[in-house]
Amino acid sequence: MSLRLLPLLVTIATFVLGAILCSLQFPHFASTRVFTNLLTDNAFLGIVAVGMTFVILSGGIDLSVGSVIAFTCVLLAILIERDHVPPFVAFAIALSVAGLFGAAMGALIHVFRLPPFIVTLAGMFFARGMCFVLTTDSIPIGAPLYAQLYRHAIDLPGHGKLSVIAIIMLLVVAAGMVIAHRTRFGTNVYALGGNRVSAELMGVKVGRTTIAIYTLSSTLAGLAGIVFSFYTGAGSSLAATGVELDTIAAVVIGGTLLSGGVGTVFGTFVGVLIQGLIQTYITFDGSLSSWWTKIAIGALLFGFIVMQRVLVAVAGRRGSLA
């Protein structure tokens, strides 16, 4: 069996095992309703994690995504509620602003050879600061579109309701899988993460690809912000703090190597589901406090990172990671 696929298999096995354990303990756990709620509650995380997968595959990191989500929410709330812009126009504006922001970060990283984490750290400060400049209040969004979207859902057998935002997330994951594995851009991202110098020698346009990667990540963070505003029905400048860490954790648990070059978008999706599963378990249990979520995610993160190190060491001895 190929070593490249092993992390993905371990991730899927972890999710399936976790789901079975939960269902054994709680009789009503195994239902389409719990599963669709899992998708709805983690829709914004899933969307932003797809973008983060591309960034990490290329050997970078994007710490600004949480702030970009919050900025998008606040911008939408102000455009829709204060300036009475039609929602879909507001969405287009928000996505373009987020995309330009990502492009600017990508350009700084490439042109000035700066470490991605410090550039995106400055981006995180900047976007969060822009939220506070726009407003420090939490603005409810009362547009009719939001109420319609909230009610609209596909009924599944067993009281499951596939909400609009869950469908958006599934579509983004599907599109991410196609882009990563079936397009030239996806191949370039893998090449860049595998070895930047050889990628450049092979003719990969490093600058263009880097800027595109961070543009994609920020645009998806903007889309996650739109979904987050559907989910909470408000724009708050304190929203989505710490989401960047949940996102990175989801990508790592999903089997993507942090050194870049190896990983899958589907694995990230399962990583998001595992985090959701931990939260759902704690909600079902009722007696466990929410801080156990953080400890459990930290422990999982540790376990998966150590497994990656072992795999890389084994692959190094065999001579290839294929």
Partner 1 sequence: MDAMAPAPRTIGAVLRRIRFAGWPQLLALALVLAACRAVSPGFFHLRLVDGRLFGSLIDVLDRGAPVALLSLGMTLVIATRGIDLSVGAVMAISGAVAATLVNAGSPVAVAVGAALAAGLGCGVWNGVLVAILRIQPIVATLILMVAGRGIAQLITGGQIVTFDDRALGFVGTGSVLGMPTPVVLVALVAMSIALLTRRTALGLFIESVGANERASAYAGVGASVVLIAAYAASGVCAALAGLVVAADIKGADANNAGLWLELDAILAVVVGGTSLFGGRFSLLLSLVGAMIIQAMNTGILLSGIRPEYNLIVKAVVVLAVLLLQSPPVRNRLSRTGGAAR
In the complex, the residues that contact partner 1 under the rule CB under 8 A are: 61, 108, 111-115, 117-119, 121-126, 128-130, 132-133, 136, 245, 248-249, 252, 258-259, 289, 291-295, 297-299, 301-302, 305-306, 309
CB 248 within 8 A of CB 53: no
Q: Are 185 and 216 in contact (CB under 8 A)?
A: no
Point out which residues pair with 156 in neighbouring strands. Answer: 160
Closer of 46 and 260 to partner 1 (Cβ): 260
Cα(262)–Cα(120) distance, rounded to whole angstroms?
22
Nearer Cβ to partner 1 (173/296): 296
Check if the beta carbon of residue 254 is closer than 8 Å to that of residue 270.
yes
Query: Can you state the angle between helices 206-232 and 43-57, rounded to 10 degrees?
Result: 170
CB of 8: closest distance to partner 1 in angstroms?
19
Region for residue 319 given its phi and psi (left: phi exceeds 0; alpha: psi -120 to 50; beta: otherwise): left
Cα-flanking dihedrals φ and ψ of residue 62, to 5°?
-130, 105
Residue closer to partner 1, measured from CB, 164 or 248: 248
CB 226 within 8 A of CB 89: no
Contact indicator for 169, 36 with CB cutoff of 8 Å: no
Q: Whose Cβ is closer to partner 1: residue 20's or residue 295's?
A: 295
DSSP conformation class of 80: I
Residues 215 and 103: beta-carbon distance below 8 Å: yes
Q: How far is the CB of 28 from partner 1 (least distance, A)?
A: 27
Q: How far apart, in whole angstroms, are the C-alpha atoms of residue 127 and residue 202? A: 36
Minimum CB distance to partner 1, residue 235 (Å): 15
Give CA separation, 108 vs 101, 117, 126, 248, in Å.
11, 12, 14, 22
Measured distance CA(255)–CA(12) in Å, rounded: 10
Least separation in angstroms between residue 115's CB and partner 1 is 6
Nearer Cβ to partner 1 (172/213):
213
To partner 1, the closest distance from the beta carbon of 194 in angstroms equals: 16
247 vs 264 by CB, closer to partner 1: 247
Q: How far is the CB of 255 from partner 1 (least distance, A)?
A: 14
Least distance in angstroms from the C-beta of 9 to partner 1: 22
Nearest approach, Cβ of residue 226 and partner 1 (Å): 23
- Compare residues 178 and 295 and give the one whose CB is closer to partner 1: 295
Q: Which is nearer to partner 1, 115 or 142 (CB)?
A: 115
Cβ atoms of residues 157 and 36 within 8 Å = no
